């Protein structure tokens, strides 16, 4: 999803401890999709479910991995998407169709015993429902973790919060955060650890990466406006796939030569309903708000009730999470559960 600038921009690998004492605005939808995709049975691709058959992979990720961030002295602030721009409707519909098709392939592969194929298709079939979103907010509240509701794109709101100094960095797996102008971006924050490569008996170590916008622009010798143009040429959520025949390196070359959006558009064929100027303007001036970051307090009993009684999580494991969160609060290591000072 989003812009793919990985062949043009490289992040610097860091350790979780390097972010100790920092507030990070996390793209909630992006992170929940990560949990729904990767927290599954390694053979069948089945997501975690409770006794009533309800999917709980997203809750598992939020509970355990967010606690890990807090233990490392990080203050996570989840930012939830609001209403997407009208011109994103087609993309949303196409993604929904792709997930439905992936679910069919998953079930067919599973029935045929092609487990590797099934697992890959299952990952692509992950769906985030309104109910999942609301229960995720409830879980964060019970854990004492703050979240905010964006008026539109969560990444845009997180970038705005970073520019305002409310947080240290934006966190997402998508490069769109840079196009929205975040000064500092963190990737892989919630998915650190070992991960199996598809179709291979090989595991890789995933570490957080940090990307600083000013360093990227200086190294590439371009402006933020020109980086946005590169994104538009190669494909965004608002024009998936980008201009036919134009990859990242070609887009970079065109932008370096032509400089402006008007000049660039005179050299390429645009086959999208949405005008490039509209997309450019949305990245430059997206709907954002001066939100109040509400401090939530840890609620052990409600957390137990939700996770153990309602969703059948291990009581022992949930109690350990509660103990960790209480210990962090007492020690004052994690500002979001204590004084809530600094970014």
The pLDDT tens digits of the residues spanning 74-122 come to 999 999 999 999 888 778 888 888 888 988 998 898 888 888 888 888 8
Instruction: Say which residues have a Cβ less than 8 Å from residue 272's Cβ, sequence separation at least 6.
Output: 239
**Protein fold of 1-215:** Rossmann fold (3.40.50)
How many C-beta atoms lie closer than 10 Å to residue 8's C-beta? 18
Of 40, 35, 136, whose CA–CA distance to 81 is shortest? 136
CATH number of 221-285: 1.10.150.20
The pLDDT tens digits of the residues spanning 175-193 come to 999 999 999 999 999 877 6
Whether 237 has a pLDDT exceeding 80, the answer reads: yes
Burial 244-258 (b: 16+ CB within 10 A, else e): eebbbeebbebbeeb
The tokens for 212 are 């600083």
pLDDT at 239: 92
Whether 339 has a pLDDT exceeding 50, the answer reads: no
pLDDT at 130: 96
Whether 336 has a pLDDT exceeding 60, the answer reads: no
How far apart CA 223 and CA 235 sit, in angstroms, is: 18
The pLDDT tens digits of the residues spanning 134-157 come to 999 999 999 999 999 999 999 999
Report the pLDDT averaged over residues 216-228: 97
Report the pLDDT averaged over residues 12-21: 94
Of 151, 104, 145, whose CA–CA distance to 124 is shortest? 104
pLDDT at 195: 63
pLDDT at 253: 96
- All CATH 1.10.150.20 domain ranges of the chain, comma separated, are 221-285
Report the pLDDT averaged over residues 253-278: 95
With bands split at pLDDT 50, 70 and 90, how would you rate the model's confidence at 337? very low
Of 263, 340, 244, whose CA–CA distance to 297 is shortest? 340
pTM given for the model: 0.90
Report the pLDDT averaged over residues 265-275: 94
The pLDDT tens digits of the residues spanning 297-333 come to 999 999 999 999 999 999 999 999 999 999 998 887 4
With bands split at pLDDT 50, 70 and 90, how would you rate the model's confidence at 2? low
How far apart CA 229 and CA 152 sit, in angstroms, is: 21
Of 30, 62, 49, whose CA–CA distance to 142 is shortest? 62
Enumerate the β-bridge partners of residue 76. 24
- Average pLDDT over the chain reads 91
pLDDT at 340: 41
Mean pLDDT lowest for which of 123-132, 275-284, 303-312? 123-132
How far apart CA 228 and CA 230 sit, in angstroms, is: 5
- All CATH 3.40.50.1010 domain ranges of the chain, comma separated, are 1-215
Give the long-range contacts of residues 290-297, CB within 8 A, separation 24 or more: 290/164, 291/148, 291/149, 291/150, 291/157, 291/161, 292/148, 293/77, 293/146, 293/148, 293/166, 293/340, 294/146, 294/148, 295/146, 295/336, 295/340, 296/140, 296/141, 296/143, 296/144, 296/145, 296/146, 297/144
How far apart CA 76 and CA 20 sit, in angstroms, is: 11
Q: Decide if 102 contacts 124 (C-beta within 8 A).
A: yes
Enumerate the β-bridge partners of residue 205. 194
Whether 66 has a pLDDT exceeding 90, the answer reads: yes
Beta strands 209-212 and 184-187 are: antiparallel
Q: What angle do CA 159, 165, 168 make, to 5 degrees?
A: 70
Q: Decide if 215 contacts 10 (C-beta within 8 A).
A: no
Of 113, 128, 98, 106, whose CA–CA distance to 45 is shortest? 106
């Amino acid at each position: 999803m989003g812009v793919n600038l990985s062949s043009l921009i490289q992040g610097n690998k860091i350790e979780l401890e390097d972010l100790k004492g920092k507030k990070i605005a996390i793209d909630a939808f992006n992170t929940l999709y990560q949990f729904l995709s990767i927290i599954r049975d390694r053979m069948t691709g089945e997501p975690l479910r409770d006794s009533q058959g309800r999917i709980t992979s997203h809750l598992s990720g939020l509970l355990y991995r967010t606690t890990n961030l807090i233990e490392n002295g990080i203050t996570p602030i989840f930012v939830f998407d609001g209403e997407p721009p009208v011109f994103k409707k087609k993309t949303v519909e196409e993604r929904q169709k792709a997930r439905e098709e992936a679910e069919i392939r998953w079930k067919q592969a599973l029935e045929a015993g092609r487990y590797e194929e099934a697992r890959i298709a299952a990952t692509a079939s992950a769906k985030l429902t309104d109910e999942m979103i609301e229960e995720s907010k409830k879980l964060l509240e019970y854990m004492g973790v703050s979240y905010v509701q964006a008026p539109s794109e969560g990444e845009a709101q997180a970038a705005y919060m970073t520019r305002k100094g409310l947080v240290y960095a934006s966190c997402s797996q998508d490069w769109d955060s840079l196009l929205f102008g975040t000064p500092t971006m963190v990737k892989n924050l919630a998915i650190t650890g070992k991960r199996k490569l598809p179709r291979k008996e090989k595991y890789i170590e995933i570490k957080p990466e940090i990307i600083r916008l000013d360093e990227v622009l200086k190294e590439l010798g371009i402006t933020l406006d020109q980086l946005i143009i590169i994104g538009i040429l190669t494909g965004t959520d608002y024009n998936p796939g980008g201009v036919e025949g134009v990859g990242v390196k070609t887009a970079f070359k065109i932008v370096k030569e032509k400089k402006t959006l008007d000049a660039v558009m005179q050299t390429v064929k645009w086959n999208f309903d949405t005008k490039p100027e509209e997309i450019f303007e949305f990245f430059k001036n997206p709907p954002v708000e001066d939100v109040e970051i509400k401090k939530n307090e840890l609620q052990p009993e409600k957390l137990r009730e939700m996770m153990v009684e309602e969703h059948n999580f291990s009581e022992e494991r949930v109690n350990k999470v509660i103990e960790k969160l209480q210990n962090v609060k007492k020690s004052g290591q994690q500002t979001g559960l204590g004084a809530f000072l600094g970014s």
